[in-house]
Amino acid sequence: MKIFKDKHKLREEILDKNISFIPTMGGLHKGHIYLIKKSKKYKKKTLVSIFVNPKQFNKKSDFKSYPRNNRRDIKILKDLNVNYLYIPSIKDIYDFKPKYKIYLHKFSEKLCGKYRKGHFKGVINVMNRLIEIIKPKDIFMGKKDYQQLFLVNKFISKYKIKSKIIECNTVREKNGVACSSRNFLLNANDIKIASKIYQFINKIKKNFENYNLKFLKKELLKLGAKRVDYIENYNVKKNFKKSKRYSKNCKIFISYYIRNIRLIDNI
């Protein structure tokens, strides 16, 4: 595996190569491993980036506490026979003016966008730059961050960028908890709470229209959540239209805190 910290040297190496790209902020877990294994089936050169993007964090404390373990991550990537790893500095990512302006679909104002002002602007900013540097044929992204996935897709479509997003299913632990880098911040009791919340939402989803928001939030607090940002049902097949009734085309989006750790999921 070749490791690059400079975008110019990376470009020289991957010029004219068919690249499959997995963008990450490190803290690699089973979900990332699934993306990498799926990428390798496409028989292109696989490139993984590790960059904790400061512009998508609302709080400095959240940025500082984000799980980082490059030594562990590099070992995982070597064991998976990844071709290239890009670990840029903040300067390497942000010292140039990209070709495309940031485009945010109006759905960026909903869900996480409502509670994390500027978050998706930061996500699209860094994805715009990474795509321009790498020029990947395919980009592998997980459905756990479904709103992010939707907005990156809309950005790519807006400018008719040739990179294609490959949507990959959410990977879960046996207890139902979605794999996430933030899970490294959870203790055993926290994991139990997250599992109970998943089981609860999964149980009531088919009768979602029978429950009001106040009741649902109250139940999550009873299960151990410290705070609940949202529980909302959207039809993901109809350009993210809010729906009262759950169906096979819908996903229930949730965001809540266990202690000071913010978790998201869609079920």
Question: CA-CA distance, 51 to 36, in Å (whole number)?
Answer: 16
Catalytic residues: 32
- Checking phi first, is residue 181 left (phi over 0); if not, alpha (psi -120 to 50) or beta? alpha
204 pLDDT above the threshold of 90: yes
23-35 mean pLDDT: 97
- Checking phi first, is residue 251 left (phi over 0); if not, alpha (psi -120 to 50) or beta? beta
The pTM (predicted TM-score) of the whole model is 0.95
223-251 pLDDT per residue, tens: 999 999 999 999 998 778 899 999 999 99
For CA atoms 108, 116, 145, 231, give the dihedral sign. negative
- What percent of the chain stands above pLDDT 90? 95
* Widest pairwise Cα distance in the chain: 58
Local structure of residue 181 (DSSP, 8 states): G
174-194 pLDDT per residue, tens: 999 999 999 999 999 999 999
pLDDT of amino acid 43: 83
* Domains contained in the chain, CATH given: 2-168 (3.40.50.620), 181-266 (3.30.1300.10)
Question: CA-CA distance, 127 to 123, in Å (whole number)?
Answer: 6
153-174 pLDDT per residue, tens: 999 999 999 999 999 999 999 9
98-146 pLDDT per residue, tens: 999 999 999 999 999 999 999 999 999 999 999 999 999 999 999 999 9
Please state, rounded to an integer, the average pLDDT across all residues of the chain.
96
pLDDT band at 83 (very low <50, low <70, confident <90, very high): very high
pLDDT of amino acid 7: 98
